[in-house]
Structure 1
Amino acid sequence: MVAVFNKDVLSWYLITLKLKETVDANLNKSPSPSPHWQALPRSLLVANGTPGAAETLTRQDRDQQAAAPAQSSPAHSPKPQDPEWVVTIRGKLAQARAEEAACPWARLSVYRVPKSLREGDERAYMPQVVSIGPLHAGKRRLREMERHKWRALHHVLKRTGHDVTAYLDALRPMEERVRSCYDGRVAWMPANDFAQCLVLDGTFVLELFRGALDGAKGFVDDLGYSRHDPVFAMRGAMHAIRSDMILLENQIPLFVLDLLLGIQLGHPEQTGAVASLAVRFFDPLMPTDTPLHRKDRFKLESSVDADAAAAAAFDPLSNPMLHCLDVFRRSLLRAGMQPTPPPAARLWLKKWSGLRRVADKRRQQFVHCVSELREAGIRCRRRRNTDRFWDIRFDKGVLHIPRILIHDGSKALFLNLIAFEQCHMDIATPGGNNITSYAIFMDNLINSAEDVKYLHDRGIIEHWLGSDGEVAELFNRLCLEVVFDINDSYLSGLSDQVNRYYDHKWSTWVASLQHNYFTNPWAIVSVVAGVFLLLLTMMQTFYSAYSYYRPPA
């Protein structure tokens, strides 16, 4: 009776234990058909006198030993863990997949200058006074200007009666769109700091744009700043600020500035006003003799040559613009700029060269230098009645080149324009690489200080640098490591005309005669006297021979 009681108790215990294990493991299928008591320790089974316990346990041990290799097979065992270096590779691949899926490359507009272009001219791409946008935000040497940004925001809020949350809330929905405009997506900056940076820097930029329309008077009378303000009273710092605001890495997308200005004016949907303000603000940086005012610009547009009428459809300012540097670049290439159609022989070359945009120095030679062109009879003259420094013409052995002004900020200006054209491939259309084309053309013309002196004497180059040699070095270093092909340039047709004239032997002989015998008045007199004596000698020889064969009667 006792044995039976113990047996019943043991059976209930086994059933209860197995049910508990099943619930804990969340099994979806019934347990294995093996007896429940097989899960108990051997000592417990033997102590309770379970029938056949010893034989069953022995058979179970043998089955477990036989099943051990099968359980370690790949179908049942977990996958062996990868080595640490393989795990690192898998992590980097996962990061690349996430970046590829999250980064819309077509939206990029504010780029980090490639290292190949940056080497040797780091300072030309780095802001020295003020940071605009997130790429250089928080740098120690630029913190001095932060308090002036906060003062500008304070003036805006005081003048409009708005609360700062009106600007922050308007920018939050487009945060992802703005981040996608920056190279590297500035993912390191938290959302709140990013919104603050856009509002603070954007307001500062707009205050400068609006106040500079009327000089110091605009800041004092219209915007309410003190006439002794160290920044907004058009002090000496304004030139350095303007130069920093044109750098490629120091930009805010134009649609952000349009939104901030629209909120200030009560029309958040407006667009285009900021571009007009930016053109006027950056006008002092134009590489021309004098600032171009609206009246003068209208006169120049109305006096364009007849061939420009056919190109009027190409207006760089008509399309949506990206940021202030893009606005400035397009203002340089405003209406009337149309690349010269290449000859028919170049059409297939252009298509082929477009497939291989590689840096090939053999395909960056437009023309020979000034000294060599002069030996071939090609002269350079200043082209008047235009302020378009890139509008070069060639006619009857004369290169007509507009005047260009070179100052201490010209190098950084051209380097950032070229870097933008190199990075933003969407502008590989008519006008897509025109600044680069012009820079390379001038680099071809100028090889030495003598070349600069010749162009300076002809009124083509006006510079405020220390010497002609510095100007030559500036142009020679602008396009190092630049990806460019002359077949994809608005100067390709002009290059063909110049080179055909250069290869003509007659022009070379005439140029040599002029260079050797007509350089000064005394040389001209000696040449004329020599020719006169030569004619007299020939006449004397003729009459002597004539009198010999036909003596007088």
Structure 2
Amino acid sequence: MVAVFNKDVLSWYLITIKLKETVDATLCKSPPPDALPRWQALNRNLPQLTNGGEAGSEALLLEERERQGELQAQSPEHSPKPRDPEWVVTIRGKLAQACAEEAACPWSRLSVYRVPKSLRDGDERAYMPQVVSIGPLHHGRRRLREMERHKWRALHHVLKRTGHDVTAYLNALRPMEERVRACYDGHAAGMQGNDLIECLVLDGTFVLELFRGALDGGKGFVDVLRYSRHDPIFAMRGAMHAIRNDMILLENQIPLFVLDLLLGLQRNNPVRTGFVATLALRFFDPLMPTDAPLLRKDRSRLESSVDPEAEAAFDPLSGPMLHCLDVFRRSLLRTGLQPTPPPPSRHWLRKWSGLRCVADKRRQQFVHCVSELREAGIRCRRRNTDRLWDIKFDNGVLQIPRILIQDGTKSLFLNLIAFEQCHMDIATPGGNNITSYAIFMDNLINSTDDVKYLHDRGIIEHWLGSDAEVADLFNRLCQEVVFDINDSYLSGLSDQVNRYYDYKWSTWIASLNHNYFSNPWAIVSVIAGVFLLLLTMAQTFYGAYSYYRPMN
């Protein structure tokens, strides 16, 4: 009797444990509705379990396990799914990252770009800073670290002069962190927030000190900013030329709104903007490749506009500006550049060419070179204007403004062209004006003879070693540039030049002038030859006349 009682207790104990495990597992797996009646049947069979002893309980438990296996086999949501291979999981992760980047859409705010590899292969040095890094793209490079201590000196001078604490500048720029990151292509996205803010404050303060000190021929460093006359950087010595060339590079820029804020904080007026563009225009004035970078009246207005008490800053530019390179580009194209529309007969060509705009040298041919134009009777003459782009053609005369070429001119044009190639807001019809000008000059210059002719006419003034270097400079500017001449402001002018070139009568006249009227002795010989020809014709006439009508 005791043994039977112990068996009943043991059966209850085993059934209770198994029911608890089954209920817990079922609650976790959320069984389908068709499994619920089985639990009701199980509850109804509990008396049978108590009366059936150990053998009945084991049989019922075995049946329940089989039933649960059948239910899981019949239910598709409980069947285990096959796992994707590891490389498929990697692909799914990359797709998710691409989707996130597409949703963020940061390209609309990009302004400081990495120069594309296709352009960089031509001349790597022209796009890389040699002395100083500005902004995060080249921050921390080993060969540029020497200038870092001078940046810290500049920040120290600003804080001492203004009486501010550095936290005022750090806290003012921190809310702009995401906006600044969206302006940069590449490395800035990987910098920590504190590092990026420190870089902006340090480099931005250094740039503003250079801008303000360069006024009045560099006297501002000593008289206004209180630097030593023997300062190795802030005394307008030889290093300033290399620093200025580095600060105009596309990858070495700081957004203009950051510089405006820093200058406003220094002047205790962070809301007022517009001074930095004026300062930058004055600072980069020596790099202007035009004959008269700034008119005298404009320069006087520039000097007065940097006064914080001035009513309005002089601004020859229009529209929002992105950074110093953008300011420099707009200053080259100031006073309302109006592209010349192509003639109606070329509308179909314009539409067709827009579908296949490729980097093809044949599609970059505006006009023939100077030597060929001269053979067709087209002459070149210097146009007295400081507007670099203002090229005219009238009655066989191509009028071109004077251009000054120095050591940094090649790097300057390469970065301007790269900016036009990268920035989508200006890489549209009418937005590739610097590229159009560079390609037009590349077409005109094919040899040293072309450079010599333009130099003799006062169109090209260069400080390079030889005319061959000038020809090589223009021939290498647009080697890998994507460009369509039909979207250029010079397309209409090129049509006029080519029509005049194709006119045969002008070619014959030019050939006659070149071969027979090139010098005084040739002119004398031509006149003598014509006189002898006339005498011979007269003698022949009178000889024949006397033969047919002899005198009586």
Moved more, 489-498 or 266-275: 266-275
Deviating more after overlay: 180-189 vs 352-361: 352-361
Structure 2 counterparts to residues 150-161 of structure 1, below 5 A: 150-161=152-163
User: Separation in 2 of the partners of 1:205 and 1:519?
Assistant: 56
Secondary structure in 1 aligned to 2:279?
Answer: helix
Are 2:421 and 2:427, in contact at CA under 8 Å, matched by a contact in 1? no
1:55-94 → structure 2 map (5 Å cutoff):
55-56=59-60, 59-60=63-64, 63=67, 70=73, 75-94=77-96
Answer whether contact 1:208 1:232 (CA < 8 A) is retained: yes
Report the Cα offset of residue 407 of structure 1.
1.2
Tell me how far apart the structure 2 counterparts of residues 380 and 432 of structure 1 sit (CA, whole Å).
Answer: 26
Give the secondary-structure state (helix, strand or coil) at the position aligned to 1:95. helix
The corresponding residue for 1:421 is 420
Distance between the aligned counterparts of 1:438 and 1:281, measured in 2? 24
In structure 2, stretches of 5+ residues that fail to align are 302-314
Deviation string for 1:222-245 (max 9, x for gaps)? 001111111111010001000001
What is the match of residue 326 of structure 2? 326
**What is aligned with 2:198?**
196
Percent of aligned pairs with the same residue?
A: 77
Partners of 2:175 and 2:298 lie apart in 1 by 42
Aligned-pair CA distance for 1:23: 6.0
After TM superposition, the structure 1 = structure 2 runs for residues 395-544 of structure 1, keeping only pairs within 5 Å, are: 395-429=394-428, 431-544=430-543
Helix, strand or coil for the counterpart of 1:52? helix
Cross-structure match for 1:42:
none
Equivalent position to 2:281, from 253, 264, 279:
279
Matched residue, 1:180: 182
Tell me the amino acid that sits aligned with residue 390 of structure 1. W
Shift of 1:338: 1.5
The 5-angstrom pairing of residues 208-247 of structure 1 reads: 208-247=210-249
- Residue type of the alignment partner of 1:258: D
Question: How far, CA to CA, are the matches of 1:77 and 1:456 in structure 2?
Answer: 84
Which whole-Å CA distance do the structure 2 matches of 1:462 and 1:546 have between them?
A: 64
SS at match of 1:75: helix
CA separation of 1:98 and 1:294: change in aligned 2, threshold 3 A = farther
Distance in 2, matches of 1:250 and 1:350, equals 36
Structure 1 residue 7, shift from structure 2 partner: 2.4
CA contact (8 A) 1:133 1:197 kept: yes
Maintained 8 Å contact 2:370/2:450:
yes
Letter matched to residue 189 of structure 1: M
User: What corresponds to 1:376 in structure 2?
Assistant: 376
Amino acid at match of 2:170: L
Q: Which SS does the other structure have where 2:269 is aligned?
A: coil
> Which range moved further: 525-534 or 352-361?
352-361
Distance 2:296 2:202 in 1: 30
Question: Which position in structure 2 is the counterpart of 1:358?
Answer: 358
Structure 2 counterpart of 1:287, one-letter code: P
Question: Which residue in 1 is equivalent to 2:305?
Answer: none
Shift of 1:349: 3.2
**Alpha-carbon distance between aligned partners in 2 of 1:468 and 1:546, rounded to the nearest angstrom:** 62
d(CA) in 1 for partners of 2:190 and 2:245? 27
Aligned-pair distance for 1:336? 3.7
Residues 201, 9 of structure 1: alpha-carbon distance in 2 compared, 3 angstrom cutoff: same
Q: CA deviation at 1:37?
A: 13
- Residue aligning to 2:56: 52
Offset of residue 187 of structure 1: 1.9
The question of whether the paired residues in 1 share the 8 Å contact of 2:11 and 2:53 is answered with no
Q: Distance in 1 between matches of 2:367 and 2:166?
A: 57
How far has the Cα of 1:540 moved from its partner? 2.1
Q: Distance between the aligned counterparts of 1:372 and 1:121, measured in 2?
A: 30
Provide, for residues 431-451 of structure 1, a one-character-per-residue CA deviation record: whole Å limited to 9, x for no partner: 410110011011111111111
Is contact 2:134–2:254 with CA below 8 Å preserved after alignment?
Answer: yes
Structural RMSD (CA): 2.8
CA distance in 2: counterparts of 1:114 and 1:335, whole angstroms = 31
* Contact 2:261–2:271 under 8 Å retained in 1: yes
Residue 54 of structure 2 aligns to a residue whose secondary structure is coil
**TM-fit CA distance, 1:56:** 3.1
Q: Secondary structure at the match of 2:347?
A: helix
User: Number of residue pairs matched?
Assistant: 529
Q: Structure 1 pair 147/22, CA: closer, same or farther in 2 (3 Å)? A: farther
CA distance in 1, matches of 2:409, 2:231: 28
* Deviation at residue 111 of structure 1 after TM alignment: 0.5
Match of 1:308 in 2: none
SS in 2 for 1:317: coil
Tell me: CA distance 1:58–1:322, structure 2 relative to 1, closer, same or farther (3 Å): closer
**CA shift for structure 1 position 26:** 5.6
Instruction: Tell me if the contact between 1:216 and 1:233 (Cα under 8 Å) persists in the aligned partners.
Output: yes
